[in-house]
Amino acid sequence: MGKANKIDDMSNHANLKGSIFKRKTLDPHRVKSLGYFALSGALWTYSPFIAATFGSSFSTLAITSAAVTGMWKFNENNVINNIRVCPEGQNKGMLEIVVSTSPISSRTIFAHMQNCHAIFAVSNDDQGEEDVDNNVIQIN
Nearest to 108 by CA among 124, 94, 127, 118: 94
pLDDT single digits (tens) 85-130: 888 889 888 888 899 888 888 899 998 888 887 776 666 555 555 5
CA distance 57 to 54: 8
pLDDT band at 137 (very low <50, low <70, confident <90, very high): confident
Tell me: pLDDT of 14 over 90: no
Burial of 59 (0-12, 13-18, 19+ CB in 10 A): buried
Q: What is the pLDDT of residues 27-75, one digit of tens each?
A: 788 899 999 999 999 999 999 999 999 999 999 999 999 999 999 988 8
Question: Cβ distance 77 to 102 under 8 Å?
Answer: yes
Amino acid, single-letter form, for residue 75? N
| Domain residue ranges of the chain, discontinuous segments joined by + | 1-75
CB 131 within 8 A of CB 24: yes
- Contact assessment for residue 94 and residue 86, using Cβ atoms and an 8 Å cutoff: yes
Model pTM above 0.75: no
Q: Who wins on pLDDT, 91 or 21?
A: 91
